Structure 1
Amino acid sequence: MSELEARFVKKGLWVNEAKGAVLGKVYTTETRTGTILVALLAVFSSLATAHLWNLVIFYCHQRRAHGRPADGLFKQQQALLRTLPPPTSLMTDTVKLWWSWRHRTDNVLLRCIIFPLLGILFAASTLTVSLTSSYIVDTTNLEVLVDSPSCASINLPRMAETQLTASTLVENISPVMESYTRDCYGKETSDLPSRCRNTFIAPNIPVKNASVPCPFSEEMCDGEALELDSGLLDMNHYFGLNLHKEDRLQFRKRTTCSILPIDGYYDVLPATDFDGLLGRGALPEEEIIALKYNAPSPSEDVQAKYTFAHSLAVSNISQNYEFRVMQSYASPDWETAGALAPRYAPLPSLARQDADVALIALWSNNVLYAKPVNDPLFAAHANASFVNYGATFEQFRPDHPGRTLGCAQQWQFCLPKLGENACTPFMGVTLNIPQNVTQFSHTTSTQRAVIQLLLTSSVFADITNAPVSQYSLAGSAVQFGVAYELADDQWKKELVMWESASWAALQILVSDYAVGPVHRDPLADQYTDQPTSVGDKTLCHAQKMRKAGGFANISVFGLAFLLTVSGTIALTDIILLRFLIFLSRFRRALAPKIDRWIQDGVFQLQRRAFEADRKGYWVGLDNEIPTTRSKELLGELSSEVQPRGDAVVYAQSEQASSMRDNTDSASTGQKEADLRPKEPLTVVERETSSTLGSK
């Protein structure tokens, strides 16, 4: 089974029902668009985290802005926080503060370490958010929805009417089924090749096997029986259907097989009685071995009395296994299926009313073994040693030219919405949905379409598919007519593999409904129908498959969530820290801490530095950005360091000081202009030890 072709991938918006109506909204587009979106989301998320960091720093500053006397380290930390440094700058500048203050105040390390830790934590969180945002756009191993104009269903009666058998369909499916079974079944998920993970939603169908009592009358089992049970399988989970909750359906298949007895169930007859079977004239004294597991026939035809027949002449020269199968359906509606009707009726001791009965005959022919084989189906103990160049080579030939497996196959359907009575009784495959099953009367149109698809597909996907194709594990071990050895339970291994092949075939057939059988079998148009009912049309657009690349799935919820949260954070930062602090009403609500935020700002600190250096007449002392009263040219700030004993005191008039205390914030600009000195400043110079000495 190859990967879904790009032309059958639905582009645009759809809902992945497995994830729900909200989280499951997906937009499928080309990889190029997805790559561009990933880059844009990375930039957007980075901007959002930067704004979030600003809010975190603002919160830290406000939590610490208590207004009480504090040492220089505290004041410098507040000034550092006010600059809204990025995490790396906060960490490095805090380390510098620690180094400078480590011997000058108490608990410096403890007081400084919180900010580097905060920066590291936020940096890690930012990285996590960036990685998470990349998951919004998925570009590998995608779940995509099938969208094909060729959606069609197999019409079994039409196949019979047009005298087309399943041969063309089986011929096209068998090679794909065999290779997919070989690669994708019987292995751990981690060991599966890429093709298994890039085709179906579930790479394989799990089947449990166990030894059970004989599924037929006791005399028809030569030893124990093996049961292969899938358990209830959700069609959405295992077959990739994208059904709504009310249309969900569960499906189960149970196959129980045993080896049928051989003694008393075969005859050796002249080949002349089977000219029609041979397709040629009988050889002189050629004999036929015929197995009889079908019900007695009133026909006078010798061949009608037997289920399988095989030439012993061919058996003596052929060095490969040969398999033949017969299928009997329990449902009576198959009698009207024409060419698809069962070709035999089983013995009463094999017949089941609740199961279809399949017979698989193995002709071992002249396959030889290097060691005795104790497996009951492939048993080989007859000595066939030979001498070559004086050396004796020990070999063994089959105990009997042919043995037969009998299998009872049962299907079950469950409607979860019905509760305790959700499941139908076990039944055989029917041509159409049976009307006498209570559960089927409660199905939706889509559920009926799914059930009919499973019933039809199961005709070509049962345990006989692999043997029909001559596919077996034992056969792959034969080299030049000789098999080294076979396990004692080889027949069980063959059954497990054949059952796996039937599930692989069912996976293929179910997905082919939406893609269109015509893309696998060129003759499919002759035996398929276009969808007509609402359920059929819904099912055409309800098949998910996997796609390795070429497309991108965008999570609509994830995209909306990221844009909403990021936009909210960015707007909060911009509005709160860039605009609202200019509004008097907002400032009064958060006073006095917001005032300390403003006074710790770089513009206010610069204003204070110029005032301390007696440069400029400043207004807007309570605003985020103070200005000079008029157009003034400011010189460079002095970098000279005054001796510790010296101090320069700048005094304002008492009148100006009094006016400042009574200033109303609503008329800040004009009143702060009045606070500027209206008379010369007085410079008071303290006497230092140097001046006293000079005196």
Structure 2
Amino acid sequence: MADLVYDNVYLGPWVDQSQDPINGAKITLTSTGGAVLIAFLALFVQYVGQHLWELVSFGWHQIRNSPLPKLALQYQQDAALRNNASPQQSLLYFIQIAWAWKHIRKQESGARWWRIAFLPPVIPLMFVILLIAAGILSSWIVDTSNVPVLLRGDKCGLWQVPSEDMARNMQEQFMVENGKYLRRRSESSRIYTRDCYNNTNARWTPSCQVFTQASIPFTTSSNVPCPFNSTTCALPNANLMLDTGALDTNDILGINSKKDSIKFRRTMTCAPIKPDLFTERLNYTMTEPDGTNHTEYIMHWLYGPFLLLDTNATAVANSIQSTQLNYYTSDTIAKFPLDERVPFPDQSTFLPRVEFNRSDGDLQFIFLSGNRILFSEPTDDPWFSAHEPYTIPRSTDLGGYLSDHLASPMGCIEQYQFCNPHKSGQPCTDLAGILPASGDALTTLDLSPMQQEIVNVIMNIVYALGVNIGAAFDPDGLKLAAQDSAYSAWQLPLPNNQWEIEMQHANNIVLANLQKAIVSYTQGPSTPEAQQFIVKPNSTEEKALCNMIRAKSNGRFNNVSTYGLSITLIIGTLLVLINTFLSSILKFLRHRRQSKSSLSKSDSWVSDQLFQLQKFAFATRKSMWRNVDGTVPVTEYATKVERYDLGGQWRHGDVEVNIRQTGTANSANTADSFEEKKALSPTVREVSRMDSLETIGKERERRSDRLPIQGARTR
């Protein structure tokens, strides 16, 4: 529906009362804000995933750690696991290590080789897949289509109820503005009904995603007795009843309050009335321009006095009209029982005779005229009855059938019921007209102040704004279901139950009109001329109800799951903080262990860190390093250091140390004097990697005793 564009949507946190508290907690954003949040969440999940991988790496590293000797590739895997920024990088390192060590495959059993070399890459690979899935799933936190929204009641209010004097004076500005408003709403309801009611694809149709529910369901009964005196109905026991059942105002109508919801029910019973019953025919002579005379007639239906024109003729039809109009026309009359508990002015247009008088419902009569519509085949439907043959002039075989009557009446009784689901036994009012049913609800159901205001709004919408079956057959915008199979003045064959199809179609229009009216209540009319006739809310409940109407929006707004967003941010932030301060935590625990002279696997996590490994590669004495158990070891002074080359050679001035695979450290023959070479040459012995590094440190320490170090080392 093009006219249902919500500009008064509330932006911020709120709770959808039609859902549970967790799923119903939402934050509404514009579509632009939603797109930014989706992008942020995708980046945030990836960022948190990297920190989570580092925590996983820590746990995995600790599991792998053992005091027993391991293969060199396992130590390299430990180093790769310790020094990585992402699971992707770890995956690459593990593959590179496995490929580089493929030459020792024959030295290990097949199962052990695959477990040692190629099983570790599987874990980061699975983590990468999970991380991608998490990034995709994080977008589910933001709902971008068919999202429930809460409307702001900036222009909220109810139309004034027209007085009897205003109803009689059709030129009054109020009647003009109110009439334009009702026609626009009625037309939009017809369009919505055509697109969204009885449409199995309504949930996928964007124009149908504007109300809390795409349509209001109802049940149909086709074998109902005559709702009036049995002598008045054309079908004594084959009439139609349509029943919505109890509609929850929170779940179905979109009034966002579970604790103050009420049940609202609407039934409609319709029956075709005998077309010649209670009628009078007035013949008159019509003189043509050529002087010829012919007889025409006027038909009066005497169902009761017509109040607006002070006449006993409830409806009037002229035979001249039937020959001049080639489209359907209609006329409606209504009788609304009043109730002193809800002092509304009487909007009845006639006083029904005793055969039609019903005090337990709102009475509507619809008079349908086929006029010059030409039916292609005889029609036995009681409301569209057409059996009068007609041949088009100057044609011998082209023709059809005209309606049997100038107008065919349909009588309907609309009844309403309110229930309080929050009281013991869920008490309900009796089925009655809208005003008596509302009066009963306000006085007998022990309603809360908010529930009473909801009843008042529904009563005003149905009664003052004419949300009833008569409005569905508005003469100014009549649109029958039969017209879907008509072209110009030509009507294709109709089924014998076409009147039932029309009543169900009209009932859909009424229900769509109800949905539209509730949303329009919080939006208010769009023109300043009409807004002057809106009664603004005064009480606390009235003002609160103006901001409690839910609707749906497709594309312009996004909803964010409050709990989903909160959990994502909280857990993600905790993981980041834990990983960020992991080194500090380990350092603290290590200091406590040192005081107890105990060791832990976590020491290897520190020693395998990138800068710790680099510290071992630098040729400086141990006493020159600070923060040796931290993340970044540093030297005491701005000391220049040398590192080993790829061949295991370290040179510094007159000293060359060779670290071979045997673990041997030797001095070079590069000293300035034989005595100095002798003094600097270490004892050759078998050492491990750490022994070699310790030897290097001792060499540097002995040399430093003889060569002064001030700021930078002297060559």
TM-score by length of 1: 0.80
The one-letter code matched in structure 2 to 1:358 is Q
Contact kept? 1:34, 1:552, Cα under 8 Å: yes
Superposed counterparts of 1:216-365, under 5 Å? 216=227, 217-223=229-235, 224-243=238-257, 245-262=258-275, 264-270=277-283, 285-294=295-304, 303-304=311-312, 306-333=313-340, 338=345, 340-348=347-355, 350-365=356-371
**How far apart in 2 are the matches of 1:3 and 1:367?**
32
Contact kept? 2:339, 2:436, Cα under 8 Å: no
Partner of 2:191: 179
Greater relative CO (CA pairs within 8 A, separation 6+): 1
The one-letter code matched in structure 1 to 2:128 is A
Partner of 2:469: 463
Partner of 2:222: 211
Contact kept? 2:338, 2:435, Cα under 8 Å: yes
Matched, 1:84 2:84: yes
The one-letter code matched in structure 1 to 2:133 is T
Contact kept? 2:314, 2:350, Cα under 8 Å: no
**How far apart in 2 are the matches of 1:568 and 1:292?**
81
Matched, 1:409 2:422: no
Contact kept? 2:414, 2:433, Cα under 8 Å: yes
Could you say if the C-alpha distance between residues 94 and 62 of structure 1 is closer, same or farther in structure 2, counting changes exceeding 3 Å? Answer: same
The one-letter code matched in structure 2 to 1:151 is C
**How far apart in 1 are the matches of 2:203 and 2:636?**
78
Aligned length: 642
Bigger mean CA deviation after superposition, 24-33 or 255-264: 24-33
CA deviations on 1:489-543 (whole Å, 9 max, x unpaired) are 22122111111111122122212221123x26834534x3221122211111112
CA deviations on 1:581-607 (whole Å, 9 max, x unpaired) are 355346669942112222333344445
Contact kept? 2:202, 2:208, Cα under 8 Å: no
Partner of 1:598: 606
Superposed counterparts of 1:614-629, under 5 Å? 615-618=619-622
**How far apart in 1 are the matches of 2:81 and 2:145?**
43
Q: CA deviation at 1:323?
A: 1.3
Could you say if the C-alpha distance between residues 480 and 514 of structure 1 is closer, same or farther in structure 2, counting changes exceeding 3 Å? Answer: closer
Specify the SS of the correspondent of 1:396: strand
Contact kept? 1:320, 1:475, Cα under 8 Å: no
Partner of 1:105: 108
**How far apart in 2 are the matches of 1:622 and 1:332?**
88
**How far apart in 1 are the matches of 2:194 and 2:119?**
59
Specify the SS of the correspondent of 2:62: helix
- Provide the alpha-carbon RMSD of the alignment: 4.0
Specify the SS of the correspondent of 1:131: helix
Specify the SS of the correspondent of 1:210: strand
Partner of 2:456: 452
Partner of 2:677: none
Contact kept? 2:62, 2:605, Cα under 8 Å: yes
Could you say if the C-alpha distance between residues 229 and 160 of structure 1 is closer, same or farther in structure 2, counting changes exceeding 3 Å? Answer: farther
Partner of 2:570: 564
CA deviations on 1:257-287 (whole Å, 9 max, x unpaired) are 2222335443323469xxxxxxxxxx97431
Contact kept? 2:617, 2:644, Cα under 8 Å: no
Specify the SS of the correspondent of 2:217: coil
Q: CA deviation at 1:22?
A: 5.9
Specify the SS of the correspondent of 2:280: strand
Contact kept? 1:266, 1:292, Cα under 8 Å: yes
**How far apart in 1 are the matches of 2:164 and 2:41?**
54
CA deviations on 1:553-590 (whole Å, 9 max, x unpaired) are 45444443332221111000011135533553466699
**How far apart in 1 are the matches of 2:221 and 2:457?**
29
Specify the SS of the correspondent of 1:434: helix
Specify the SS of the correspondent of 2:451: helix
Partner of 1:515: 523
The one-letter code matched in structure 2 to 1:9 is V
Q: CA deviation at 1:338?
A: 4.8
CA deviations on 1:314-345 (whole Å, 9 max, x unpaired) are 22333222211222224455997556134222
Partner of 2:510: 502
Partner of 2:707: none
Bigger mean CA deviation after superposition, 371-380 or 489-498: 371-380
Contact kept? 1:616, 1:632, Cα under 8 Å: no
Task: Name stretches of at least 5 consecutive residues in structure 1 with no aligned partner.
Answer: 273-282, 662-671, 682-695
Could you say if the C-alpha distance between residues 617 and 137 of structure 1 is closer, same or farther in structure 2, counting changes exceeding 3 Å? Answer: same
Q: CA deviation at 1:87?
A: 1.7
The one-letter code matched in structure 2 to 1:490 is Q
Contact kept? 1:432, 1:452, Cα under 8 Å: no
Contact kept? 2:9, 2:150, Cα under 8 Å: yes
Contact kept? 1:27, 1:556, Cα under 8 Å: yes
Bigger mean CA deviation after superposition, 44-53 or 568-577: 44-53
Could you say if the C-alpha distance between residues 445 and 159 of structure 1 is closer, same or farther in structure 2, counting changes exceeding 3 Å? Answer: farther
**How far apart in 2 are the matches of 1:573 and 1:81?**
15
Contact kept? 1:221, 1:260, Cα under 8 Å: yes
The one-letter code matched in structure 2 to 1:542 is M
TM-score by length of 2: 0.78
